[in-house]
Amino acid sequence: MADRRLFALVSMLIGISIILIYSLSVYTTILFGVNEFHFAIRQTIFGFLSIFVIWLLAQGDPDKLLTPIGFTLFIGSAILMVAMPFLPEFLVSAVGGAKRWIKVFGFSLAPVEFFKVGFVYFLAWSFSRKLGHHGGMGVKEEFIRFIPYGLIFVGAMFIIAIVQNDLGQVVVLGLTLLFMLMFAGSSFRFFLTLLIGALIFFLFFIFTAEHRILRIKSWWALAQNSVLEIFPESVAAQLRVPTEVEPYQIGHSLNAIHNGGLFGVGMSNGTFKLGFLSEVHTDFILAGLAEEFGFMGVLVVVIIFVLMIQRIFKIANRTEDSRIYLFSLGIAFLLAFAFLVNAYGISGITPIKGISVPFLSYGGSSILAASIGIGMVLMASKKTKMD
């Protein structure tokens, strides 16, 4: 029997999402001249569809269905991402010159969201067959063993970061790959080596794109006052960024969080959603949650999310199948890193990456892809002994 607690926790997050989308999208509906329930209805459709998909996948036989579904997501989404720049405009939606969404029956779906789930399954399937404990191997031997996966990741990184101009997704996928490698049996020394290499590549991508440099400067403008206090004034003066690049979005996000206090201003009573945070129902949904429901509201969501991750870890730990073990861990890492990257971004700790909050942010692709991942984990959980 599939893990019912995990199903219940995910369903709770989806239900909370529908309420938040209705409450926080009021300004956006006026801005686009649509019905006040427009975004809430669309989120409700995808929410119930996602819950049904989770339930449906949970009924399947993991020995027969996991691999076909995983490879369909991996290969199919990769083909779509490669083809998207060449597709006509009536089939794709572009933002900032990057084509990221395919139009399907009046909705827009982002193949990268489904690719992430497929990529995690491919890694789990391949790691379980090719990798094992490092057994005293040197870093050079481990690196040679890793080269095929590195090439695949570089290819995915090129498509996502360069063609689709979406570095945030690369960060989440890269972190997931690193941690899956470690749990697959690689040494901690090799893990650190890859982590340092990833940071170098990350800096390379930042400093080769002007808009990313401006984003880093905007973030630093907000964080610099507290950080530079520990440096001598002569050093601090060289590192200080002019205040005119202060990131107004992060500033409004922090003000919304502060305005919410302990218990919030009440549902629909938030003010920073009224044009100050232009994407409050998507990337800044945690800031909107904090303003209207306060610290306690955020705490409830975090507890549900942590319990969800804990249930996935428990499924991983109670299986003897290394493929299911690694896939479950990968989905948990994928969801956890996305949540953390978003939370750190809207609170000013790190630069904003444009990553949605799993199961909370508005967007059919994100919620449906994450639900497919959870459904596959639930399908796999039937091979474990859960309490």
Average pLDDT of the segment spanning 351-361 = 85
Is residue 301 a contact partner of residue 9, using CB atoms and an 8 Å limit?
A: no
Quote the CA–CA distance of 272 and 260 in Å, as a whole number. 10
Q: Containing H/E element for 94?
A: strand 92-95
Q: What is the pLDDT of residue 1?
A: 56
Quote the CA–CA distance of 246 and 259 in Å, as a whole number. 20
Quote the CA–CA distance of 289 and 256 in Å, as a whole number. 9
Least confident of 3-7, 39-43, 268-272: 268-272
- The DSSP code for 21 is H
**Per residue in 100-118, pLDDT tens?**
788 777 777 889 999 999 9
Beta bridge partners, 102, equal 92, 109
Q: What are the residues whose beta carbons fall under 8 Å from the beta carbon of 222, sequence distance 6 or more?
A: 246, 247, 250, 251, 348
Q: What is the pLDDT of residue 48?
A: 95
Quote the CA–CA distance of 188 and 112 in Å, as a whole number. 29
Amino acid at position 328, single letter? S
Quote the CA–CA distance of 334 and 116 in Å, as a whole number. 8
Average pLDDT of the segment spanning 149-174 = 81
Query: Strand, helix or coil at 127?
Result: helix
pLDDT band at 305, cuts 50/70/90? Answer: very high
Q: Which residue matches tokens 């199919």? A: 76
Say if residue 252 is exposed, middle or buried (CB neighbours under 10 Å; 0-12, 13-18, 19+): buried
CB count in 10 Å sphere of residue 91:
13
Query: Strand, helix or coil at 237?
Result: helix
**Per residue in 216-243, pLDDT tens?**
766 666 666 666 666 676 666 666 666 5
Say if residue 90 is exposed, middle or buried (CB neighbours under 10 Å; 0-12, 13-18, 19+): exposed
Average pLDDT of the segment spanning 168-176 = 87
**Per residue in 177-194, pLDDT tens?**
889 988 887 777 777 887
Task: Give which of 329, 325, 328 is closest to 375, Cα–Cα.
Answer: 328
Structure tokens at 277: 């945070």
Amino acid at position 145, single letter? R
Instruction: Give the CB-side neighbour count of residue 17, counting CA atoms within 13 A.
Output: 32
Beta bridge partners, 103, equal 108
CB count in 10 Å sphere of residue 82:
13
Structure tokens at 348: 């000013």
Query: Measured between alpha carbons, how far apart are the two ends of the chain, in Å?
Result: 10
What Rg value do the Cα atoms of the chain yield, rounded?
A: 21
Structure tokens at 118: 């497929």
> What percent of the chain clears pLDDT 70, i.e. is strictly above it?
84
Is residue 373 a contact partner of residue 70, using CB atoms and an 8 Å limit?
A: no
Q: Containing H/E element for 109?
A: strand 107-109
Task: Give which of 128, 386, 348 is closest to 249, Cα–Cα.
Answer: 348
- The DSSP code for 101 is E
Is residue 134 a contact partner of residue 387, using CB atoms and an 8 Å limit?
A: no
Q: Considering the entire predicted model, what is its pTM?
A: 0.86
Put residue 255 in one of left, alpha, beta given phi > 0 → left and psi -120 to 50 → alpha.
alpha
Q: What are the residues whose beta carbons fall under 8 Å from the beta carbon of 369, sequence distance 6 or more?
A: 113, 114, 116, 117
